[in-house]
Amino acid sequence: MVILDRLPTKDRLVRFGLAIDNVCGLCASSSESRDHLFVECCFAKEVWDIVLTSCGVCYTLTNWEDLFNWLIANLKDKSLRIRILRLAWTGMLYSVWEERNHRLFRRSSRSVDALVNSIKLVVRVKLSRYGKPRIDDVNRQLCLNWVLDDTEELSNDNGAGLIEYIEVVRLDRVRLHLHLHLEVEVY
């Protein structure tokens, strides 16, 4: 949905004829569009900068098309860094959209650090199916940045943190579906 620019961002809703303010709910400095929300917004930029820095990558976001082309060109390898980047990118898109919805519908917000930590948790859990990564000079800093060598953090809570996260995601999806369904029937 993000790649195809089909998310119900405020600029698209205004184009459909809804009378709403189209200011970004994350930074309140520009109109909300896909490009703004995931690339130009200072909140999303800060999240993406931390994720990239944690991967040891230096890249400055300019616009959606450049970012997408950069990702296509650079995410072809099967190294640990590339696996993390792929998962982190999808996690970042999901988390930024989720944060936008939390602020819009729940009037609650999380900090950049909280969002990055949730992305890191999802990346760690998804990477755990690949087994313990090979620790060498290249991967050592990645493992430290993403807490990949500390499996006790995930195993000590018997998966309770992950289960809680999954339940919250499910509830968010149900609430968003109900909210959108109710809005459509009202009009």
Residue 98 pLDDT greater than 50, yes or no: yes
- Give residue for tokens 């929300």: 37
Give the whole-number percent of the chain exceeding pLDDT 90. 39
Write down the pTM of the prediction: 0.74
pLDDT of residue 170: 54
Can you give the pLDDT at residue 86? 92
CA distances from 18 to 14, 15, 60, 74, 106 (A): 5, 7, 34, 39, 20
Residues near 64 by beta carbon (within 8 Å), at least 6 away in sequence: 34, 35, 38, 39
Q: Alpha helices of 30-150 — where are they, by DSSP H? A: 34-35, 42-54, 64-74, 80-101, 112-127, 137-146
Binning pLDDT at 50, 70 and 90, where does residue 186 land?
very low
pLDDT given for residue 134 in this prediction: 77
Nearest of 173, 166, 170 to residue 125 by alpha carbon: 166
Per-residue model confidence (pLDDT) at position 180:
45
Query: What's the full length of the chain, in residues?
Result: 187
Q: How many CB atoms sit inside 10 A of residue 87's CB?
A: 19
How much is the average pLDDT of 9-31?
A: 89
Please write the tens of the pLDDT for every residue from 116-173. 999 999 999 998 888 777 778 778 888 888 888 643 343 344 444 555 555 555 555 5
Going by pLDDT thresholds of 50, 70 and 90, the confidence category of residue 79 is confident
Does the pLDDT at position 50 exceed 90? Answer: yes
Phi/psi class of residue 147: alpha, beta or left (left: φ > 0; alpha: ψ in -120 to 50)?
A: left
pLDDT of residue 151: 39
Percent of the chain with pLDDT over 70: 79
Nearest to 67 by CA among 95, 38, 88, 97: 38
Longest dimension (CA), the chain: 59
